[in-house]
């Protein structure tokens, strides 16, 4: 092995990213002799204070930490999430769901959706949602955990995630991390110290004068990007051309309206608005492009769209879509907002923290910091951002809306290369391609392409091996099984109460 084992890890920042990293490192490495993991955070600076919706991968992270799911749901005031409902995105008055899990049943060795496309070509229209247990349960306000012991049931394939209070999650993980040896220091980093020759970070100086030294630094300092951006000067890859939204105004409100286990995204004239029901409140926010709408108007639209009474003053945030060119430079790894940000349209930010931590654990360095690990980390991280970017751009690019300058700009965008290829493939043959284990599955790409009104120009020839009557019969059977299964599921409120939550 080149180099010596790392003995001192310093995490700068105690938002969701910092405490997720601390909890994971504490769980996996906390028992290693002579290893110190220290987290520095400043209550005076505070955290970004938003971030509520997640994707199913978070279940693996919580399991890796050994968290009890019912306790986690109670502690973070979480609700369940079966997908995202998009309202007014394709055109005004239209809605569709991007569900977790998958559609229907694959038949004759090919994807289910080819049979659905063929049936549609034959004039048998039925909504794609009707073939997704997650979409149908979401609309009905139902929830139950997947039943893997029933392989034939659609419940075996139910995908789910959570909607929670990210600040509570950070506090919960803090207890978990501290119980596994992570040491927390309250203080503001006022200076970052570097080796004069190599430029490696050697320590950080706190406002009280203390110097905290380390060998590996995790920059979890949020949009400030104190170590990676400000100190090491790693440039930012700016994607605002494709994703022009650069502001958000967030405001929680009291519970009111429906309580479906879905995140709702409603398109607005220059952006979109989220609505995320938790156990104790609804999270709301308006993500918008400042080139097309001003702050007062954006705030007015948000207030107008609230179901309940506002619970706080508006929290205003600024960002640029994109990421640091390299997420790992010298002995600094950025996790969370310090590494980059893509608008929360598909709830990917907390996932990017999680995947960064998993990648770091796989490629964990020694004091030699060899370029192989660093290079691989950076390639994989940049690819992940790029894949998510393309998926987000699809939502805007494929809209039929032309009722505002913002939507006309989005419709006229030249899609990035990967997205252009995916669109061309679907438009010519109905095929959905997923590259190199990218985060979003075929179900996700299909749901948004169909939901946004992208027309498939055909279907797989094998789908024609079932005659029309058999195709229609099988599709009706699948819809019927999903409908009756949803009918037997408890409501989300019943499920939460039965498992110890409000
Ligand atoms: P922060 O929360 O900003 O934490 C930064 C930490 O660094 C704080 O503890 C701060 O005190 C500390 N710090 C900074 N400077 C110093 C210093 N000099 N000295 C000491 N400490 C310092 N994610 C999702 O997954 N789903 C969502 O639905 C979602 N919605 C979002 C909506 C918006 C509008 C935004 C902006 C983000 C959203 N996110 C969402 C992202 C999510 O909130 C963040 O990715 C996540 O909370 C991680 O933030 P962070 O820990 O990187 O940064």
Its pTM stands at: 0.97
Render pLDDT for 246-268 as a digit per residue (tens, 0 to 9). 999 999 999 999 889 999 999 99
Among protein residues, the one whose CA lies closest to atom 31 of ligand 1: 51
Residue 42 in contact with ligand 1 by CB distance below 6 A: yes
Is 81 part of the annotated catalytic residue set?
yes
Pairing of strands 216-219, 8-12: parallel
Q: What is the DSSP string of 212-278?
A: EE-SEEEE--GGG-IIIIIIT-PPEEE-TTT----EEEE--B---S---SSEEEEEETTEEEEEEE-
**pLDDT-wise least confident of 53-57, 106-110, 368-372:** 106-110
- For the CA of 43, the nearest atom of ligand 1: 11
Residue 218 in contact with ligand 1 by CB distance below 6 A: no
Nearest one of 168, 167, 182, 172 to 28, comparing CA atoms: 182
Among 81, 142, 157, 422, the active-site one is 81
Residue 346 in contact with ligand 1 by CB distance below 6 A: no
Taking all residues of the chain, what is their mean pLDDT, rounded to a whole number? 96
Quote the radius of gyration of the chain (alpha carbons, Å): 23
CA distance 360 to 331: 12
Render pLDDT for 143-193 as a digit per residue (tens, 0 to 9). 999 987 777 888 988 999 999 999 999 999 999 999 999 999 999 999 999
What pLDDT does 287 receive? 98
Q: For residue 498, what are the CA distances in angstroms to 158, 484, 485, 493?
A: 19, 22, 19, 9
What pLDDT does 1 receive? 67
Confidence category of residue 49, pLDDT binned at 50, 70, 90: confident
Render pLDDT for 69-125 as a digit per residue (tens, 0 to 9). 999 999 999 999 999 999 999 999 999 999 999 999 889 999 999 999 999 999 997
Q: Is 245 left (phi over 0), alpha (psi -120 to 50) or beta?
A: beta
Output the 3-class SS for 74-108. Answer: HHCCCEEECEEEEECCCCCCCEEEEECCCCCCCEC
Residue 189 in contact with ligand 1 by CB distance below 6 A: yes
- For the CA of 53, the nearest atom of ligand 1: 28
CA distance 388 to 244: 15
Among protein residues, the one whose CA lies closest to atom 18 of ligand 1: 189
- Give residue 495 CA to ligand 1 midpoint distance, Å: 31
CA distance 415 to 400: 15
Percent of the chain past pLDDT 70, that is, above it, reads 100
Residue 344 in contact with ligand 1 by CB distance below 6 A: yes
How many other C-beta atoms are found inside a 10 Å radius of the C-beta of residue 77?
18
What pLDDT does 435 receive? 82
Render pLDDT for 404-453 as a digit per residue (tens, 0 to 9). 999 999 999 999 999 999 999 999 999 999 888 899 999 999 999 999 99
Cβ atoms 307, 251 nearer than 8 A: no
Confidence category of residue 480, pLDDT binned at 50, 70, 90: very high
Q: What is the ipTM of this complex?
A: 0.99
Among protein residues, the one whose CA lies closest to atom 9 of ligand 1: 14
What pLDDT does 502 receive? 67
Residue 350 in contact with ligand 1 by CB distance below 6 A: yes
């Amino acid at each position: 092995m080149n180099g010596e084992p790392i003995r001192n890890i310093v995490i700068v920042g105690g938002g969701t990213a910092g405490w997720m990293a601390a909890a994971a490192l504490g769980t996996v490495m906390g028992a290693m002799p002579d290893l110190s993991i220290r987290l520095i955070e400043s209550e005076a600076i505070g955290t970004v204070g938003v971030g509520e919706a997640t994707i199913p991968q978070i279940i693996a992270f919580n399991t890796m930490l050994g968290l009890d799911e019912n306790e986690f749901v109670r502690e973070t005031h979480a609700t369940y999430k079966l997908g995202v409902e998009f309202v007014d995105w394709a055109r005004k008055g239209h809605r569709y769901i991007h569900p977790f899990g998958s559609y229907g049943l694959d038949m004759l060795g090919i994807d289910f959706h080819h049979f659905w496309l063929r049936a549609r070509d034959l004039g048998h229209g039925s909504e794609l949602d009707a073939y997704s247990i997650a979409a149908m349960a979401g609309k009905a306000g139902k929830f139950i955990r997947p039943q893997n012991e029933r392989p034939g049931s659609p419940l075996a394939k139910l995908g789910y995630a959570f909607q929670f209070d990210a600040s509570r999650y950070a506090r919960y993980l803090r207890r978990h991390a501290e119980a596994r040896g992570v040491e927390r220091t309250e203080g503001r980093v006022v200076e970052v110290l570097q080796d004069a020759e190599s430029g490696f970070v050697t320590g950080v100086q706190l406002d009280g004068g203390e110097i905290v030294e380390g060998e590996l630094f995790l920059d979890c300092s949020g949009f400030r990007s104190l170590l990676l951006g400000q100190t090491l000067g790693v440039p930012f890859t700016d994607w605002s051309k494709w994703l022009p939204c650069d502001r958000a105004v967030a405001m929680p409100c009291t519970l009111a309206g429906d309580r479906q286990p879905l995140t709702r995204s409603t398109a607005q004239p220059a952006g979109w608005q989220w609505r995320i029901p938790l156990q104790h409140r609804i999270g709301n926010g308006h993500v918008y492009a400042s080139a097309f709408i001003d702050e007062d108007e954006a705030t007015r639209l948000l207030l107008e769209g609230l179901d309940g009474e506002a619970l706080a003053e508006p929290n205003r945030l600024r960002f640029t879509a994109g990421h640091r060119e390299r997420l790992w430079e010298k002995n600094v790894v950025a996790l969370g907002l310090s590494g980059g940000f893509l608008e929360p349209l598909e709830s990917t930010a907390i996932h990017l923290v999680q995947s960064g931590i998993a990648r770091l654990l796989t490629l964990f360095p020694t004091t030699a910091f060899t370029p192989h690990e660093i290079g691989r980390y950076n390639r994989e991280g940049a690819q992940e951002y790029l894949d998510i970017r393309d998926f987000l751009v699809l939502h805007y690019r494929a809209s039929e809306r032309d009722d505002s300058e913002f939507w006309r700009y989005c419709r006229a965008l030249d899609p990035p290369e990967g997205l252009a290829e995916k669109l061309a493939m679907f438009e010519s043959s109905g095929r959905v391609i997923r590259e190199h284990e990218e985060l979003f599955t075929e179900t996700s790409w299909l749901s948004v392409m169909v939901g946004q009104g992208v027309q498939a120009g055909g279907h797989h020839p094998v789908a024609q091996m079932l005659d029309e009557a058999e195709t229609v019969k099988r599709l009706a059977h699948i819809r019927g099984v999903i409908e009756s299964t949803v009918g037997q599921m408890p409501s989300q409120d019943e499920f939460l109460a039965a498992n110890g939550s409000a």
